[in-house]
Amino acid sequence: MKPGLITALVFISSGAFAAQGDEQLIEETYDEWVRVTNTKDIEMWSAFVAPGAVFAPSGAPVLTTMEDIREYYEASFADPNFSLDCEQQRVEIAESGDMAWARGICNFTGTAPDGDLASGTSRWFKVWIRQVDGSWKCKVNTWNLGDN
């Protein structure tokens, strides 16, 4: 085998290993984010959100500032019945290695406007951005409500 070909194969396969490592890191980051969400600690929760993030909740205005995003989640966290049980079903890393997208499903519980316990299912889509330190933070988050 020619030296250039060996170098190319090593480079390609190391990129594949890096992508697998990043997928695993995003999986672990997401699982920790859900765990923190259920503690309702807005400070810890906010650490998972990238600077300049945009969140698009189902049936609500798009949240384009960290202040708006925090206010939205502070209201959710104020509900004593609020909880999430989520699964990230797929992660794909961009060829550049600095961005990824993921999709998944969440079962949620909360208090309905009439005071009754409410629950449902949400499908979501996120864009993750690699930070300078190699960690991943959520840059775009959107979800629907319902079983579709």
pLDDT digits (tens, 9 = 90+) for 20-51: 689 999 999 999 999 999 999 999 999 999 99
Q: What is the pLDDT of residues 83-116, one digit of tens each?
A: 999 999 999 999 999 999 999 999 999 999 999 9
Residue 130 belongs to domain with CATH number: 3.10.450.50
Q: CA–CA separation, 148 vs 145, rounded Å?
A: 8
Domain tally, the chain: 1
pTM for this model (two decimals): 0.82
- What is the percent of the chain with per-residue pLDDT over 90, rounded to a whole number? 82
Q: Is residue 28 part of a domain?
A: yes
Q: Is residue 148 part of a domain?
A: no
Smallest CA-to-CA distance from 45 within 57, 29, 22, 60 is with: 29
Q: Is residue 57 part of a domain?
A: yes
On whether the CB atoms of residues 29 and 133 are closer than 8 A, the answer is no
| pLDDT class of 19 with cuts at 50, 70, 90 | low
Q: Which domain holds residue 123?
A: 3-143
